[in-house]
Amino acid sequence: GNSVTQMEGPVTLSEEAFLTINCTYTATGYPSLFWYVQYPGEGLQLLLKATKADDKGSNKGFEATYRKETTSFHLEKGSVQVSDSAVYFCALSQSGGYNKLIFGAGTRLAVHP
Amino acid sequence: GAGVSQSPSNKVTEKGKDVELRCDPISGHTALYWYRQSLGQGLEFLIYFQGNSAPDKSGLPSDRFSAERTGGSVSTLTIQRTQQEDSAVYLCASSLLWGQQETQYFGPGTRLLVL
């Protein structure tokens, strides 16, 4: 079946450090890929997405590239801020008319000054 | 504009009681989804609606769970004879159109605690 695997947290970084959160997926066909973020006390919100192979999604300094050959969608940011502290979820929406999102387990990021 | 809203924000109930959770999607959004977020299971899909119909109910955990959507807008998720394992945050999302590329916008969730 379809699934998403992301690196376990928590990830603890100092401000201005480089961030990578790994995400790999298993899916039939050509899924769309998403990163959602959940800030403390808030709901899930879309961070970025990519809908076909080699697409790069970007937002708020975060980037992720849809790599079909490695079935990956790793999240990166060049310089994190304290305000980036949150839980990050990688998700896929499979092709073929099934629009439900399949989420990874989430990765908690803590950024310290 | 207004986002997805859910009510109540918190619900505490006794085991065996029925509960109703409400979702108001973003105005004009045709697709609506229910998910559940729990410590043990992470984020899991429950059911979705295209308009008022629910083509895929495979994610509902048991026949104690049901959902309906009326007028292409508000949706209600009902849990009958609640059990302690039903304790979770129930999330509703909506998207403008139906399709795998569509962004789903999430509400703040209803936190359900079954004692």
Of B45, B103, B108, the CB nearest to A100: B45
pLDDT of residue A96: 67
- Taking CB atoms and an 8 Å limit, are B95 and A99 in contact across chains? yes
Interface of A with B in 22-81 (CB under 8 A): 31-32, 34, 36, 42-46, 49, 51
Our CA-based measurement puts residue B75 at a distance from the nearest CA of chain A, in whole angstroms, of 17
Our CA-based measurement puts residue A55 at a distance from the nearest CA of chain B, in whole angstroms, of 13
DSSP state, A40?
T
Of A43, A44, A99, the CB nearest to B102: A99
What tens digit of pLDDT does each residue of A60-76 get?
A: 999 999 999 999 999 99
Q: Which helix (H) or strand (E) holds B58?
A: none
Q: How far is CA B96 from the centre of its chain?
A: 17
CA-nearest residue of chain A to B31? A99
Distances (CA, A) of B55 to A3, A95, B47, B99: 21, 16, 9, 14
pLDDT of residue B56: 81
Q: Is the pLDDT of residue A50 over 60?
A: yes
Distances (CA, A) of B64 to A9, B16, B23, B83: 34, 11, 19, 10
Q: Per-residue confidence of chain B (115 residues) as pLDDT tens digits?
A: 589 999 999 999 999 999 999 999 999 999 999 999 998 778 999 999 988 888 888 899 999 999 999 888 999 999 999 999 999 999 999 999 888 788 999 999 999 999 9
pLDDT of residue A9: 86
Torsion of CA B82, B88, B94, B100, to 10 degrees: -110
Backbone angles phi, psi at A82, to 5 degrees: -55, -35
Which chain B residues touch A if contact means CB-CB below 8 Å? 31, 33, 35, 42-45, 48, 56, 59, 91, 93, 95, 98-109
Taking residues A7-33, what's their average pLDDT?
Answer: 94
Our CA-based measurement puts residue A57 at a distance from the nearest CA of chain B, in whole angstroms, of 13
